[in-house]
Amino acid sequence: MQATVRSSVAFKGIGLHSGRPVRMVVHPAGANFGIWFRRVDVAEADGLIAARYDRVPESQLCTRLRNEAGVEVSTIEHLMAALVGCGVHNAMVEIDGPEVPILDGSAAPFVRAILARGVQAQREAISAIEILKPVTVEAGAARATLRPAKRLTMRFDIDFDDSAIGRQSREIELCNGHFVRELCDSRTFCRQADVEMMQANGLALGGVPGENAVVVDGDAVVSPGGLRHADEPVRHKMLDALGDLALAGAPIIGAYEGSRAGHMLTNRLLRKLFATPGAWRMVDCTPEQAASLPGVDLHPEDLTAVA
């Protein structure tokens, strides 16, 4: 069955790049509604923006959505990962600014609040996107692939010059609460030199090392408190990829493989998937398929893992 949040969930924080305070509320929505954003601070234009892959303009540092009126909302990937990871298919997200609050730099605060409020099952069956043949996109040394599989799985590899990160790999099945327990608390990360460059260009103004981002400099993690996991960077990359895949508009049944991939490469992968005849089909989930989707079979102890 489809699901929505049981009741409205509110968040307050600052935007990572704008440094601007923002208030956001995730409201329940009816079956087959999908995920939509509404910019409540916009009066002169249409403030409704669909959370879909074909509403994403070119961007590198985060995932942005833009509607036909040019109204945007950015840094949506952590919230989208939290929604799909908690099994929420339908929601209206009202926000009074151009950027989703960064909170602690992970999806954990969103997950914690959603699970504490509860998820409401809906009568309608779930349709999913079944991958039928491999589709790959590349950009330099970066590569992203979707291939057939019985359930959503993910493998990710990263390789950074900074030895505090270095080469990391992880593979996971995104079912039975694995996202909540293993990925959702991993924070966004960057190099100290990149932080200085971004702030000099008017970006990352809301970034606070140790509070909403992991910052590394060579072989040192300069953020107070260090890492939450030894491989926190690759876990966060997987979190981001799940949020970006959620823009497909329906759950995916298949295997995602990313190597040095970022937001735009995953978006290009979705665009290529839907443009490739015979690469996918929409299916009504069997009970077995529905039971393997992210967010199904969550338990109280899964919330404890991120409390």
Domain ranges of the chain: 3-121, 127-304
- Nearest CA among 61, 37, 38, 64 for reference residue 53: 64
**Active site residue: 17, 78, 236, 263, which one?**
263
Contact status, residue 170 vs residue 158, Cβ threshold 8 Å: no
- Beta-carbon contacts of 145 under 8 Å, excluding residues fewer than 6 positions away, are 134, 135, 136, 137, 255, 256, 257, 258, 269
- Residues 132-160: tens digit of each pLDDT: 999 999 999 999 999 999 999 999 999 98
- CATH topology assigned to domain 3-121: Ribosomal Protein S5; domain 2 (3.30.230)
Spell out the residues 6+ positions from residue 253 whose beta carbon is closer than 8 angstroms to its own. 128, 129, 130, 131, 149, 150, 151, 152, 283, 289, 292
Catalytic-residue membership of 263: yes
Region 97-117 average pLDDT: 94
User: How many percent of the chain have pLDDT more than 90?
Assistant: 75
For the stretch 118-135, pLDDT in tens is 999 999 999 999 999 999
57: its two tokens: 């303009």
**How many angstroms separate the Cα of 259 from the Cα of each of 26, 27, 229?**
32, 35, 20
Model pLDDT for residues 190-200, shown as the tens digit of each residue:
777 776 676 66
- At 16 the pLDDT is 80
Span 170-175, mean pLDDT? 95
* CATH superfamily, domain at 127-304: lpxc deacetylase, domain 2 (3.30.1700.10)
Q: What is the pLDDT of residue 55?
A: 97
Whether the pTM exceeds 0.85: the reply is yes
